[in-house]
């Protein structure tokens, strides 16, 4: 040491200067594939992203019901705030779905955060922070949608396209694998899905002209098991839907940035794929552009695409079809439901992808129409350089990535609906790696908009009830055995509705807009409702009229008062 200097010592973890405990009980050690497969049989927990592999976002918990909900009150609040300089300070949002295992909550935040919290008190048990390059290419903000748990580990992806396995007791990194190329504009935002001995993740970056892919890693070792691209190379199945000349396929998009669902009996995962690239300039990619804007049924053992259903052939509206595919059975048929950005509610046979029914779920659809047989007819789209076109739904979609729910009790689907249009002006641009590749100027309406939580009967496609809002609804819905539907508003209110009538029964102002996935769990017989709150991400795309709304970062947990 130089003479005269005071010894400042060695730097310490920032969390050591906080109340963090540093250790969580070993509750994840025994979380196996079989337990995840039977997740609904342990309703005290929320073991996987959607609560169960079927994606229903339904919990049988019923302590909080249409009568008791009026007494619902905050149990605790967790806040992280910010220190130092971090990525996308204007676009971060708290989007995750908190998982809970035997009283311990695992939740990811923006900018590489993962926390283990005491589900009863909110005490921080451990934290993990990944160092995120501030210049990571992000179309839609500094976000992460959640974690997965199994075999003593917590799995999470990072914005700079790593997939990590953390020790669920300490938060220490067990393995770290890179699965995307940040210099190509790839990133990671998806909540991982554990199936058998694999953890499966999709990539983000469809606005940067990447080539979408799913990757699987062995949960214990991190060994890369398989990669499946969602856009075929020349000569592969589907490649005839891309121009034969040039490299449009190599920049074709189709990213899987929303978690898939899984049917263990059929051994099929159902992943939605994102928009083709460039988003709006279809002239450089003539053809249907498979497998973009599609449902792909994927064999989890090897990544093989067994079959597909394309919702938006040759998309020029930015109508990603990533959004969840909810598995349900009806009249002895194995079905799935999907609410697409394009404004249509699809019911498919999940054994083979056959269309069962397609019906609109939003009032204004002007881009085109889809008939009862699934035939797509485009009507309004960007076609001439520099010529603005206006269509509904805008590129944020009639429903964004935030999820619908299905209650087996009511046999209804509950959907957060966005009714917003946009004006798109085609502006051709040359592709350069790492630079946004949209091919248009985009102005989404900040007036003349609306939204709702709407309930639909899948047997008819008919709307059963609607709770209307003066701005779009942009947060996931939760359905419970108490015949309640929970949904947050962009203006901060967290609402509970009667699942059978749509009557608003309870409301709490959380102080910031909702763009996350609430979950529920119980500890020692007390039911809790957890909802991350923090308005942000691609607000200019789905609700620019709320671009100036408060920018919070809190996790609220509600419960009935203790006796």
Partner 1 sequence: MNDMHAAAELPGLDTPNRATLGRLPVHGGRLGYAEEGPDGRLRARVRIPLDEMVWDPAILVMPHGGDLELELVNDDQNTHCALLPSNGDHQFLWLPNHSRGTASLNLDGPGCYWFSSIIGNDEGQGLIAAIVVMGETPPEARLDRPAQPRP
d(CA 380, CA 556): 42
The pair of structure tokens assigned to 401 is 């990535």
Q: Provide, rounded to whole angstroms, the least separation between the CB of residue 213 and partner 1.
A: 8
Applying CB under 8 A, which of residues 34, 67, 81, 83 lies at the interface with partner 1?
83
Do residues 350 and 338 make contact, with C-beta atoms less than 8 angstroms apart? no
Contact range with partner 1 by CB under 8 A, out of 244-252, 265-273, 396-404, 547-555? 244-252
Residues between 4 and 33 that touch partner 1 (CB under 8 A): 4-15, 17
Q: Provide, rounded to whole angstroms, the least separation between the CB of residue 471 and partner 1.
A: 34
| Phi then psi dihedrals of residue 284, to 5 deg | -90, 0
Taking alpha carbons only, the member of 419, 402, 558 closest to residue 480 is: 558
Contact range with partner 1 by CB under 8 A, out of 179-187, 335-343, 407-415, 465-473? 179-187
For residue 339, give Cα distances in angstroms to 85, 194, 446, 480, 495. Answer: 38, 24, 23, 20, 21
Applying CB under 8 A, which of residues 33, 175, 381, 431 lies at the interface with partner 1?
431
Q: Does 131 bind partner 1 (CB under 8 A)?
A: yes
Applying CB under 8 A, which of residues 57, 145, 153, 162 lies at the interface with partner 1?
162
Q: Does 561 bind partner 1 (CB under 8 A)?
A: no
What is the end-to-end Cα distance of the chain in Å, rounded? Answer: 61
Q: How big is the CA angle at 401 (ends 281 and 75), to the nearest 5 degrees?
A: 155
Q: Provide, rounded to whole angstroms, the least separation between the CB of residue 2 and partner 1.
A: 6
| Alpha-helical regions (H) of 371-474 | none
| Phi then psi dihedrals of residue 183, to 5 deg | -75, -20
The pair of structure tokens assigned to 364 is 């204004």
483: left (phi over 0), alpha (psi -120 to 50) or beta: left
Q: How big is the CA angle at 375 (ends 371 and 380), to the nearest 5 degrees?
A: 85
Applying CB under 8 A, which of residues 19, 84, 332, 561 lies at the interface with partner 1?
84
**Nearer to partner 1 by C-beta: 435 or 504?**
435
Q: Does 128 bind partner 1 (CB under 8 A)?
A: yes
Q: Provide, rounded to whole angstroms, the least separation between the CB of residue 210 and partner 1.
A: 6
Applying CB under 8 A, which of residues 26, 133, 237, 386 lies at the interface with partner 1?
133
Q: Does 250 bind partner 1 (CB under 8 A)?
A: yes
For residue 448, give Cα distances in angstroms to 380, 395, 423. Answer: 19, 16, 13
Taking alpha carbons only, the member of 90, 113, 14 closest to residue 532 is: 113
Q: Does 304 bind partner 1 (CB under 8 A)?
A: no
Q: Does 433 bind partner 1 (CB under 8 A)?
A: yes
Contact range with partner 1 by CB under 8 A, out of 246-254, 364-372, 404-412, 554-562? 246-254
**Nearer to partner 1 by C-beta: 430 or 563?**
430
Q: Provide, rounded to whole angstroms, the least separation between the CB of residue 493 and partner 1.
A: 34
Applying CB under 8 A, which of residues 145, 153, 251, 285 lies at the interface with partner 1?
251
The pair of structure tokens assigned to 316 is 């020029």
Contact range with partner 1 by CB under 8 A, out of 205-213, 277-285, 389-397, 403-411? 205-213
Q: Does 285 bind partner 1 (CB under 8 A)?
A: no
d(CA 486, CA 350): 27
Q: Provide, rounded to whole angstroms, the least separation between the CB of residue 129 and partner 1.
A: 5
Q: Does 262 bind partner 1 (CB under 8 A)?
A: no
Q: Provide, rounded to whole angstroms, the least separation between the CB of residue 188 and partner 1.
A: 11
Residue 14 CA, chain-centre distance (Å), reads 30
Q: Does 210 bind partner 1 (CB under 8 A)?
A: yes
Task: Provide the 3-class DSSP secondary structure of residue 558.
Answer: strand
| Phi then psi dihedrals of residue 283, to 5 deg | -65, -25
Query: Considering CB under 8 A, how many residues would be counted as binding partner 1?
Result: 60
Q: Does 161 bind partner 1 (CB under 8 A)?
A: yes
CA-derived radius of gyration, the chain? 22
Q: Does 233 bind partner 1 (CB under 8 A)?
A: yes
Question: Among all residues, which ones are annotated catalytic?
Answer: 318
d(CA 252, CA 363): 31
Going by the DSSP 8-state scheme, the letter that residue 482 receives in this structure is: T
Going by the DSSP 8-state scheme, the letter that residue 147 receives in this structure is: -
Applying CB under 8 A, which of residues 181, 220, 349, 423 lies at the interface with partner 1?
181
Q: Between 408 and 427, how does the x/- string for binding to partner 1 read (CB under 8 A)? A: --------------------
Do residues 199 and 33 make contact, with C-beta atoms less than 8 angstroms apart? no
DSSP β-bridge partners for residue 537: none
Residues that bind partner 1 (CB under 8 A): 1-2, 4-15, 17, 83-86, 127-136, 160-162, 172-173, 176-184, 186, 209-211, 213, 224, 229, 233, 247, 250-251, 430-435
């Amino acid at each position: 040491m130089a003479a005269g200097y005071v010894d400042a010592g060695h730097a310490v973890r920032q969390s050591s200067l906080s109340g963090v405990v540093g250790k969580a009980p070993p509750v994840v050690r025994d979380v196996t594939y079989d337990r995840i497969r039977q997740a609904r049989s342990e309703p005290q927990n929320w073991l996987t992203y959607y609560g169960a592999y079927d994606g229903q976002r339904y919990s049988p918990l019923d302590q909080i019901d249409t009568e008791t909900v009026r007494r619902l009150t905050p149990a605790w609040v967790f806040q992280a705030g910010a220190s130092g300089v971090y990525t996308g300070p204007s676009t971060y949002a708290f989007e995750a779905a908190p998982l809970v295992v035997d009283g311990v909550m695992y939740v990811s935040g923006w900018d590489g955060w993962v926390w283990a919290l005491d589900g009863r008190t909110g005490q921080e048990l451990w934290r993990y922070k990944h160092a995120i390059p501030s210049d990571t290419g992000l179309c839609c903000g500094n976000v992460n949608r959640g974690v997965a748990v199994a075999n003593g580990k917590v799995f999470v992806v990072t914005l700079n396209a790593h997939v990590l396995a953390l020790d669920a007791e300490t938060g220490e990194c067990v393995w770290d694998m890179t699965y995307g190329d940040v210099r190509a504009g790839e990133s990671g935002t998806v909540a991982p899905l554990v199936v058998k001995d694999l953890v499966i993740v999709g990539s983000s970056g469809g606005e940067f002209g990447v080539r979408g892919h799913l990757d699987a890693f062995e949960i214990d070792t991190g060994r890369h098991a398989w990669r499946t691209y969602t856009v075929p190379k020349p000569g592969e199945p589907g490649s005839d839907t891309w121009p034969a000349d040039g490299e449009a396929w190599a920049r074709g998009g189709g990213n899987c940035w929303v978690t898939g669902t899984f049917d263990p009996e059929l051994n099929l995962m159902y992943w939605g794929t994102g928009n083709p690239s460039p988003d709006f300039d279809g002239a450089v990619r003539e053809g249907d552009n498979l497998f973009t804007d599609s449902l792909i049924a994927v064999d989890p053992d090897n990544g093989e695409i067994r079959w597909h259903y394309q919702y938006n052939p040759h998309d020029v509206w930015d109508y990603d079809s990533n959004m969840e595919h909810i598995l349900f059975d009806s009249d002895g048929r194995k079905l799935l439901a999907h609410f697409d950005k394009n404004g249509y509610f699809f019911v498919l046979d999940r054994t083979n992808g056959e269309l069962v029914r397609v019906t609109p779920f939003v009032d204004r659809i002007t881009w085109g129409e889809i008939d009862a047989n699934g035939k797509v007819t485009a009507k309004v789209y960007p076609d001439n350089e520099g010529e603005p076109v206006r269509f509904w739904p805008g590129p944020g979609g009639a429903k964004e990535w935030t999820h619908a729910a299905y209650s087996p009790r009511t046999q209804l689907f509950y959907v957060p609906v966005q009714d917003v249009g946009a004006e798109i002006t085609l502006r051709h641009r040359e592709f350069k790696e790492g630079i946004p590749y949209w091919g248009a100027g985009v102005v989404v309406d900040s007036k003349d908009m609306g939204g709702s939580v709407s309930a639909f009967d899948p047997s008819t496609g008919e709307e059963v009830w609607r709770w209307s809002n003066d701005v779009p609804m942009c947060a996931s819905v939760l359905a419970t055995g108490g015949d309640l539907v929970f949904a947050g508003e962009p203006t901060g209110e967290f609402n509970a509705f009667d699942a059978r009538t749509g009557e608003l029964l309870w409301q709490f102002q959380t102080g910031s807009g909702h763009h996350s996935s609430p979950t529920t769990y119980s500890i020692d017989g007390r039911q809790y409702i957890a909802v991350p709150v923090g308005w942000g991400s691609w607000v200019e795309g789905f609700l620019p009229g709320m671009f100036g709304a408060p920018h919070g970062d809190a996790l609220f947990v509600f419960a009935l008062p203790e006796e």
